[in-house]
Amino acid sequence: MDEQRGRGGPPWTRPGLPWWSQGPAWWNRGGDARWPWRSTVLVTAFVLLGSNFAAHGQSDRAALDVFARLLLLAGGALLLWRKRYPVAVAYGTALCATVYLGAGYPYGPVFITVALGCFAAIIAGRRWAAWGAVGLFWVGHVVISHWLYRYLPPSGDGPAAWGQEGFVAAWVLAVVAIAELARVRREQWEQARAERERAARRRADEERLRIARELHDVLAHSISVINVQAGVGLALLDSDPEQARTALTTIKAASKEALGEVRQVLDTLRAPGDAPRAPAPGLDRLPELVEQASGAGLTVGVTTDGERVGLPPGADLAAFRIVQEALTNVVRHSGSRAARVRLRYGKGLLTVTVDDDGPASRTEAGGSGNGLAGMRERAAALGGTIEAGPRPDGGFRVVAELPLTARAAAPAPSPEDPR
């Protein structure tokens, strides 16, 4: 229930967001499913009482009678439908007020019902209906005050001053202007809320992709090593128990390493505000990666060109994961038992190259087929690039270029893994 309120409920029910950034709580309380009866009762009572007080100072107008109070009550009661039928309410309140003033009753809070009816119509997006309603009210007041007054009560009164019409026109324009400002502000609130929701969904999608990529990179390499060594152990269990023992030892070490890294990822998810308990892996752990690959029967040679420099954490992790995934692909998909890793430090750029001599293995290697896509996403997140494909002389090559300074990240492509 709380989750549903946080996504689709009224703005003031959403945790963590101040009311002034979401709009006034009184406007949409309960949504369209509820009747705004509290505000309607308060406004109607105020109009009735205020009209009684106003009548004491306007002896030249007709005294309030049952018909006058019914008109005031009808105009106030119409506000109960202002959210469901804003056009009808705008014209209905204007008509009630016009008849009230045409009958010669005292001026007073009767204007409030017209103002709220037109305000609700503008907020609901029915601007022309609201303008038409206030225009009808003003024209009706002019006609009654200057032409029909001699035929309407009270008897013996004269035409109203044109200055009074200017005051009524100013009042009408003020109501419309305030309603238009409220409508613009409401649209801004809705736009800002929609943008926040889109940003939240985007952050959630990015975080989900990051978690999936991290878990894939953590598990793929270790599971590949375990898979290879399990096959070796089964094949040599009877003929060479000592070699089978070595394979089982490698499986134990690889599984322990994988469990440790998975635990680190899960700890980060459980406490996103806390610092991770263990540092993220980087190229300083490349010897461990080479040793794990050796346990899977893969000989890895590492060369470094240029002066090695300290890498930003993001680039260091990405370089390590790219090498890890590339070696995992060699173990899974290549018939070669040798691979070469080359790190070249340039001016503001780290180039990582992983080669194997192939040919591609014909055996079913399993896997999700998302390895190269994950590498591209990691590189693109740093503003870098990945090139991967068969070499002209056979084998396969992965080349990653990672900037060592912050750059705008490009959208990460998601091609199918060609291997």
Q: Tens of pLDDT along 364-415?
A: 444 445 667 778 888 888 888 988 888 888 888 999 999 987 553 444 443 3
What are the tens digits of pLDDT across the range 42-62?
A: 999 999 999 989 888 887 788
**Within 10 Å of residue 206's Cβ, how many Cβ atoms?**
12
Quick one: pLDDT at residue 311? 84
Going by C-beta distance under 8 Å and a sequence separation of 6 or more, which residues neighbour residue 356? 330, 334, 336, 338, 339, 340, 395, 396
- Alpha carbon distance 332, 335 (integer Å): 9
Specify the pTM. 0.46
State the pLDDT at residue 81. 93
Whole-number Å distance between alpha carbons of 243 and 246: 5
For the chain, the first-to-last Cα distance in angstroms comes to 46
CA–CA separation, 246 vs 241, rounded Å?
9
Handedness of CA 243, 245, 247, 253 (dihedral sign): negative
**pLDDT at residue 278, as a whole number:** 56
CATH superfamily of 199-403: Histidine kinase-like ATPase, C-terminal domain (3.30.565.10)
Q: Which amino acid is at 129?
A: A
- What residues does each domain of the chain span? 2-14+30-160, 199-403
Q: Could you give the maximum distance between any two Cα atoms of the chain, in Å? A: 125
Report which residue type is found at 198: R
- Is residue 25 within 8 A of residue 39, CB to CB? The reply is no
pLDDT, position 45: 93
- List of the chain residues with pLDDT < 70: 1-33, 149-151, 154-165, 217-218, 220-222, 224, 228-229, 232, 264-280, 361-371, 406-419
